[in-house]
Amino acid sequence: MCGICCAVSFSIEHFSKNLKEDLLCNLKRRGPNSSKQLLKSNADYHCLFSGHVLHLRGVLTAQPVEDERGNVFLWNGEVFGGIKVAPEENDTQIMFNYLSSCKNESDILSVFSEVQGPWSFIYYQASSHSLWFGRDFFGRRSLLWQFSNLGKSFCLSSVATQTSGVVNQWQEVPASGIFRIDLLSASISKSVVLKLYPWKYNAGNNVIKECAGSLTLISADLPTFVSVVENEAKLYLKEPVVPLNMMLPQAPFEIHCSGISSIPPRETLKVFLTDGHMNEVVQQFIDVLSAAVKRRVLCLPRDENLSPSEVLKTNNRKANVAILFSGGVDSMVIAALADRHIPLDEPIDLLNVAFIMKEKSTPTHFNKEGKKQKNHYEIPPEESSKNALAAASASPDEQFNVPDRITGRTGLRELQAANPSRVWNFVEINVSLEELQKFRRTRISHLVQPLDTVLDDSIGCAVWFASGGVGWLVTQDEAKHYQSRAKVVLTGIGADEQLGGYSRHRVRFQKHGLEGLNKEIEMELGRISSRNLGRDDRVIGDHGKEARFPFLDENVVSFLNSLPVWEKANLTLPRGIGEKLILRLAAMELGLTTSALLPKRAMQFGSRIAKMEKNNEKASDKCGRLQVISLENLSIEEEIQL
């Protein structure tokens, strides 16, 4: 995980050799282990590259990297497959070696077509004066662009700064393919032409998907001096997943389900598992998802901060992996599969967030010794604040007893029963209204932007507090302050989108049947880059942690895409069974019999953040709270001084 940035100017008077401090600080929070800047300048254009590394594999490689021909590379990604990276190697250097050896555009596209895993990148190819950049097929890593000064400058960055009342604000780079800018031509014409190399699925000689619609959508929000065109050679990237299976059953779907809905929920799932074909499909799903989790929990350094004597003591082991944990079926299955692959003497952090329900009542708190006291503490304003305490923990019937806390504790007991030898750190992260408002204003709002809805505010804030991992380990008699030091955070995003988990899937099915459900799932997966992933990457990355998404592993998505929709979800069945059916069956097979039957509950409702400030808002409304900008923040043109 890294914070990457490239500021380009075609006019020396609009160019600065340094990024402004607030943008630099935001990038450094994403990459706390190494920071470096590199300037490439000639008579026609000037490029400032800034790289900030969160070290997770191989030898620490400072970014940007440059070769003897003047090519420059910034990489914010993880190679989990497609290109071989040995455990002791660094994927940044491996990717740069491949790119440096590329002789033409087609070679560059071949490299990125092979990579499996999340990525965004910026690559300056000196010989052609080209700047290449883009995001992976799902958009699992953030990249933003901002064009200003009427074509005289632009900026690419993993994260932005707060902006208010500015015409040319930051926007997400669409995950539509890879873009290339001819910097020499742009400097002469004073206009920026974005050449797109789109994702396309190649089935033999039949190339599916034209990108004319994509060009129109991308161009819609760009300034007039910026245009988007398809590359002249009609080259493209190979989509990393197979297309969605849109097949419909030959017999009416209800016939397949006759009699099942009349039996108890747990027995219903058992009936499905007695079917030989369905059981085989579930086992295949468990295998492919387990492999995806394995790649994401083993690809990181271990014991780097411990002495040999500490390594021998299980109680002193730190958790290297954390899970955003509600106790729902998504996070429970991820936790159970992570337990298969993480060394047994290494704890796993389960991060469970709750927002205060009754601000005026007095909670029961614990002091440092674990003794009960009535007091209130704030979450540390910065990660370096070692002496401050987090929001205090309440007893089960008190202020933080939100739905996700209840199901989280139940899920913890289920995991402990499945593997009592594992240390499961259930981290209770409690947030007051005051803390929410303070950190939204100072740390979160610019991470959520350019997204701006009430839903984005709720989820962005909830994920930020949860992934920070500052909370309490609570037992029956005491509470111990705890901060997760895990650099990797697993999240269940992608399960609902692919497996019919949202209420809108059920509405679409009731109105338009399986055909409508297929189209809804196709739409969900197609928009996940712009709706969720860039925001979540920026929010989690702000803590110097890396978000990893097992349900969006290329092999997992291809497997699920290959199945007919009725093997993934059965929305003739009630909530808690029908949605995400295949995942519930997997949970049953893994021994998670309680969580397998929990209905889908959105994070903003389960954590109760949606109830804290205004109850009459719609999720799609623009959120005024995200527009609260501190007086010291200036416009982006003044901040970066491109």
| Cα–Cα distance, 215 to 492 (Å, whole number) | 31
Query: What values do phi and psi take at 411, rounded to 5?
Result: -65, -40
Q: Express as a percent the part of the chain with pLDDT over 90.
A: 67
| 2, 155, 211, 461: the active-site residue | 2
The predicted model gives 37-49 an average pLDDT of 93
What is the Cβ-side half-sphere exposure of residue 51, based on CA atoms within 13 angstroms? 27
Query: Rounded to the nearest 10 degrees, what angle do helices 581-589 and 329-341 cross at?
Result: 40
Q: Which three-class secondary structure state does DSSP give residue 455? A: helix
| Cα–Cα distance, 399 to 359 (Å, whole number) | 8
| Cα–Cα distance, 85 to 444 (Å, whole number) | 34
**pLDDT band (50, 70, 90) for residue 261:** low
**pLDDT band (50, 70, 90) for residue 590:** very high
The structure's pTM equals: 0.89
| Cα–Cα distance, 40 to 457 (Å, whole number) | 38
| Other C-beta atoms lying within 10 Å of the C-beta of residue 206 | 7
pLDDT at 303: 63
CATH 3.40.50.620 fits 266-302+318-615, yes or no: yes
What is the Cβ-side half-sphere exposure of residue 253, based on CA atoms within 13 angstroms? 19
pLDDT tens column, 100-141:
999 999 999 999 999 999 999 999 999 999 999 999 999 999
pLDDT at 15: 75
Give the ranges where 531-642 is alpha helix by DSSP (H): 534-541, 554-562, 581-589, 603-606, 636-640
Whether the predicted pLDDT of 369 surpasses 80: no
Catalytic site includes residue 47:
no
Among all chains, which residue has been given the structure tokens 């060009």?
215
The residue among 229, 228, 241, 212 whose CA lies nearest residue 171 is 228
| Cα–Cα distance, 591 to 414 (Å, whole number) | 9
pLDDT at 180: 97
The predicted model gives 610-615 an average pLDDT of 77
pLDDT at 72: 97
The residue among 281, 297, 273, 197 whose CA lies nearest residue 245 is 281
CATH class held by domain 2-240: alpha beta
| Cα–Cα distance, 130 to 122 (Å, whole number) | 10
- The residue ranges of every structural domain in the chain are 2-240, 266-302+318-615
pLDDT tens column, 144-176:
999 986 778 899 999 998 765 554 589 999 999
Same fold, 2-240 and 266-302+318-615: no
pLDDT at 212: 58
Between 239 and 215, the higher pLDDT residue: 239
pLDDT at 605: 83
DSSP letter at 239 equals: P
Buried b (16+ CB within 10 A) or exposed e, 489-523: bbbbbbbbbbbbbbeebbebbeeeebeebbebbee
